[in-house]
Amino acid sequence: MAMAADDIARMIKERFPDADIRIEDLAGDGDHYSATIVSEAFRGKSRVQQHQMVYDALKGNMGGALHALALKTTAP
Amino acid sequence: MSAQDVQDWIGKQVAGNDVVLFMKGTKTMPQCGFSMQVAQILNHLGVEFKDINVLEDMSVRDGIKAYSNWPTIPQLYVKGEFIGGCDIVREMFQAGELQELLNAKGVANNAQTLTA
């Protein structure tokens, strides 16, 4: 059970069309990623809210198919 | 326990302890690198906290995710408020915001004298 970096980026982009997304495969195993996401949608939101928005965009894959995704979210 | 009982039990833990960490493993023997990082940060700050090992009870492991609408573990709660998972706690610690939050909420920690 793993997800390709492209799939993660695509799902995030669908939800945050303006986003600047950088995804790194930390271990090279398709299972441990870090994502840096910059989107206007995050402005004025708490970090918890920002990450919840991203988890929501990933539609339940986080904690399931996607074991580890270190998130860094900011507004531009 | 029914799903509602689990939610009630979690609510009591969160309300009854100033600082609660839902983690994989225990504070003395973490079983996941992310849980370990958060436990280490709290220990480093000298914060007393209750650790709840979600690996001991599948219903708590699932229940805590529903409780906070947060899909991963660890989860840190301070004075009843969900603070975040590993990324957020680490980011806040590095920025000094976690220490500020603990002080603002009146939770004893060893960064107190530095910011007072």
Share of chain A above pLDDT 70, in %: 97
Q: Is A65 on the interface with B (CB under 8 A)?
A: no
Cβ–Cβ gap A55/B34 under 8 Å:
no
Q: How far is CA A69 from CA A40, A61, B16, B109, in A?
A: 21, 11, 31, 29
Q: How far apart are alpha carbons A40 and A19 in whole angstroms?
A: 8
Cβ–Cβ gap B92/A47 under 8 Å:
yes
Q: Is B92 on the interface with A (CB under 8 A)?
A: yes
Q: And the tokens for A74?
A: 């900011």
ipTM over the 0.90 cut-off: no
Contacts of B70 in chain A (CB under 8 A): 48, 51-52, 55
Search chain A and give the residue with CA nearest B70: A52
The tens digit of pLDDT for each residue in B8-31 reads 999 999 999 999 999 999 999 999
Cβ–Cβ gap B34/A68 under 8 Å:
yes
Find residues 41-60 of chain A whose CB sits inside 8 Å of chain B. 47-48, 51-52, 55, 60
Q: Which residues pair with A62 in a beta bridge?
A: A66
Residue B83, min C-alpha distance to chain A (Å): 7
- CATH assignment, A5-74: 3.30.300.90
pTM of the model: 0.89
How is chain B split into domains, by residue range? 3-109
Q: Are strands B50-53 and A68-74 parallel, antiparallel or unpaired?
A: unpaired
Contacts of A52 in chain B (CB under 8 A): 69-70
- CATH assignment, B3-109: 3.40.30.10
Strand residues in A1-76 grouped as ranges (E): 20-25, 32-38, 68-74
Q: Per residue of chain B (116 residues), what is the pLDDT tens digit?
A: 789 999 999 999 999 999 999 999 999 999 999 999 999 999 999 999 999 999 999 999 999 999 999 999 999 999 999 999 999 999 999 999 999 999 999 999 987 655 44
Alpha helices in B17-96 (DSSP H): 33-44, 58-68, 86-95
Q: How far apart are alpha carbons B77 and B20 in whole angstroms?
A: 5
Only one residue has tokens 């301070």, namely B78
